[in-house]
Structure 1
Amino acid sequence: MDAQLSDVEAGKRFYGELFGWTFSEPGQAYGSSVWARLDGDRVAALSPKVDGRMPTVWTVYFATPDAGALGRRIAGAGGQLVVAPFPVGDLGTAGLAADPDGAVFGLWQAGTHPGFGRRHAPGTFVWAELYTRDVAAANTFYGGLFHEALFGADAEPDFGRADVGEVFPAEMPSHFLTHFRAEDLDDILGAVQRLGGRVQVPPFETSYGRVAVVTDNQGASFALLQR
């Protein structure tokens, strides 16, 4: 996953204090992006927006052995390619796609960078929730693309689907919401606000834990999950 930000330095200050992340120097990841690390393990990347009109957002990338073939399957299933797969140096091949309801997600074909160095630990990725207007259609679309990864008997759960209206106003577009694990949700919500972020949705109970939705100091939304 990565965050597209107007000010990467401000993002480093916010997430560094919030999660205890450290950061690589520009050029060690790709372009002007920086790796975010926790105890040396890669947990995310922060990237500068190449166009100010782009949204400030966290993007989750689905792993695939063939980004080009997956892009064709997405289009054939009623989705669309937003950014066709392109090489990211020797790290891998990336792309952006949207499902039939407009929710955007990334594609990642690994080269030298396989993905998360750590997840499910405090301060790292723990869950992605798709908020959609049509849960049944989303199950069909993503189940057809990623059946084994999403629904396999041996898969560790990372992904869920819910109706937009369960948490957000009815007019909210379909979207993916990245969740970071929190040891103490109330404490970390206080830190978000001290650092210039805001609480978008106060804590609520889900089948996978207690969740709150926040925005960072630049407006990127994410969730905090206490298992």
Structure 2
Amino acid sequence: MPAFIHIDIPTDNVERAKRFYSDIFEWTFEKPSPDMDYYLFSTKDLDGNEGIHGGMGLRGEPDQRIAAYIGVDSIEKYASKIEQAGGQVLNKMPVPDWGALAICLDTEGNLFGLWEDSDKGENK
């Protein structure tokens, strides 16, 4: 069943934001590639079990906000379902070597993302 699998947090200062979230919530961060200015983070629930994962990087646009992504097996299939149900698909794009994403709006104007893993088996 599709579920929220990733949260993307845009920042103005990555180091400051990493300190904030790790000091308060004990999140851990790792840089997936030395040539990326982006960090992946891991969380744990209140019982210490693995929680949702996410990413943190520099804010791309002045009004960019936290975005939550729902994992799906096919962006095309779910984009069609979203549009049929009255939502909108604003943008779809590949993420080379990782998968693909789509930015969508629900019927209430809430922004959310879809994520489809690459079939290459990398970075899953």
TM-score when normalising by structure 2: 0.73
> Which residues in structure 2 correspond to 1:1-227 (within 5 Å)?
1-25=7-31, 27=33, 31-37=36-42, 43-52=53-62, 54-55=63-64, 57-84=65-92, 86-111=93-118, 112-114=122-124
Q: Which runs of 5+ in 1 are unaligned?
A: 115-227
CA distance 1:95–1:31, shift in 2 (3 Å): farther
CA gap 1:33/1:9 in 2 versus in 1, 3 angstroms: same
Identical-residue share of aligned pairs (%):
26
CA deviations 1:155-205 (Å, max 9, x no partner) are xxxxxxxxxxxxxxxxxxxxxxxxxxxxxxxxxxxxxxxxxxxxxxxxxxx
**One-letter amino acid of the structure 2 residue matched with residue 22 of structure 1:** T
CA contact (8 A) 1:26 1:32 kept: no
Deviation at 1:32? 2.2
Q: What amino acid sits opposite 1:33 in the alignment?
A: Y
Q: Shift in Å at residue 47 of structure 1?
A: 2.3
Is the helix fraction higher in 1 or 2? 1
Root-mean-square deviation over aligned CA pairs: 2.4
Higher relative contact order (CA 8 A, sep 6+): 2
Which of structure 1's runs of 4+ aligned residues deviate more than 6 A? none
TM-score by length of 1: 0.43
Equivalent-residue separation in structure 2 for 1:96 and 1:36 (angstroms) = 21
**Superposition deviation, residue 38 in structure 1:** 5.1
Deviation of 1:70 (Å): 1.3
String of CA shifts for 1:74-114, please: whole Å, max 9, x gaps: 12221111222x12121211111001110111101012344
Q: Tell me how far apart the structure 2 counterparts of residues 49 and 26 of structure 1 sit (CA, whole Å).
A: 18
Q: Kindly tell me: are residues 113 and 27 of structure 1, through their superposed partners in 2, closer, same or farther at Cα, counting changes over 3 Å?
A: closer
* Higher Cα radius of gyration: 1
Q: State the Cα deviation string for residues 32-67 of structure 1 (Å, max 9, x = none).
A: 22111359x782211222122x23x32221111111
